[in-house]
Amino acid sequence: MTQWTVERLGRKGDGVALAGDARALAALTLPGEVIEGEAVDGRIAAPRILSPSPDRVRPACPHYRACGGCSLMHGSDEFLRRWKVGVVEQALQAQGLAAPIAGIHVSPPRSRRRAVLSGRRTKKGALLGFHARASEVITDIADCQVLRPAIQDALPFLRRLVVAGGSRTGEMSLAVTETPAGLDVAVTGGKPMDSQLFQSLAALADEGDLARLSWDDRTITRRPPALVMGRARVVPPPGAFLQATPEGEAALIAAVRDITRGAGRVLDLFAGCGTFTLPLAEQAEIHAVEGLAAPLAALDAAARQTAGLRRITTETRDLARRPLLPDELRHNAIVIDPPRAGAEAQAREIARAQVARLAWVSCDPVTFARDARILAEGGLDIVRLFVVDQFRWSPHVETVAEIRRR
């Protein structure tokens, strides 16, 4: 059996293990550990730990070795804080950039208010959970350390939804969001809706006291699943993108507020349902731009029903294909929260514009660093950076950067 030494963790959290000139990825390992195992196609499937790291801890979850929902629960909290900051710093360094870290937020255990679960009907019932590590197999979960208690307690009920409308040959996706009105469940991949299935689902929605149940393009709304965003209450479209934890969302909003403080006119790009638009509109006029019409309609409806907000205008526009041009970017500050692919095209236009201040929110350090390099070449530098970890025990990390023109 070959012995390996783990040099570091890769971006996805697997250990990069070395044995002479050989290199392989080893899951569930930490830097400095000596492990034993054989590499197949560049991966050590089940490494045996010979010399554990002092940063290694006992995972709290009984499903950890099988479930792919968390991949870093074997590392201490302090190690994970250091590692995630390091991921951000290394991504910037690869582009010749650096930034002072102004703060780090880590969401607590059992704080995920939104999760996308996979489900499949079986002979004896249903599987419901996350995919196994590097697999399409669903790990059935009974107790999850990241889900909010309301979602955790609803797992048996959600399995009944899978039994009622799932298939033994296909996989369902259940986007489950905790709201003050109850759970909002959006299902895709289930059986086609017919009158009998609709009646069964309506009865289940009543029994489970759901706020809303969406089944592909059909919706059963018992109570509007409104979410608080600043002073407003927003009813997002089914399955809409939302921040994963209330604590993480609060950290992002606090950083963006601080960066844009004093700006009278703010441009919010990739605005979604209004995570930043609605809180910022308490102090500034906002123009919100989003590629999808449904989230903007939800934002607009909430704004119209909320007293005390400054003027909000909206625009549906695909910013990847048709970014705002320099003469459209004339605002006191810009907030931008692009998807994982980043906003390269928009960054090039911002670099050409007379933009003085940006709050750049990112969920991918590599694409953020690429876009920040474009901005730097146009005279815009990162002044400070906030690191936000909403996805505890995963390799995922988010940032908010204050960027100013030199």
Active site residues: 363
**Cα distance between residue 218 and residue 352, in whole Å:** 45
Enumerate residues 6+ apart whose C-beta is below 8 A from 390: 107, 243, 244, 245, 247, 248, 249, 396, 398
Read out DSSP for 166-180? --SSS-EEEEEEEET
Distance CA(14)–CA(406), nearest Å, equals: 39
Tokens describing residue 382: 């990162």
Structure tokens that stand for 215 in this block: 């089944």
Question: How, if at all, do strands 101-106 and 172-179 pair?
Answer: unpaired
Total residue length of the chain = 406
Helices (H) and strands (E) counted in the chain, each on its own, are 9, 24
SS3 159: helix
Q: What is the DSSP letter of 249?
A: H
Single-letter code of the amino acid located at 352: R
**Residue 369, both tokens:** 């660093």
Question: Given CA atoms 395, 80, 57, 176 in this order, what sign does their dihedral have?
Answer: negative
d(C-alpha 320, C-alpha 318), whole Å: 6
Report the Cα 134 to chain-centroid distance in Å. Answer: 19
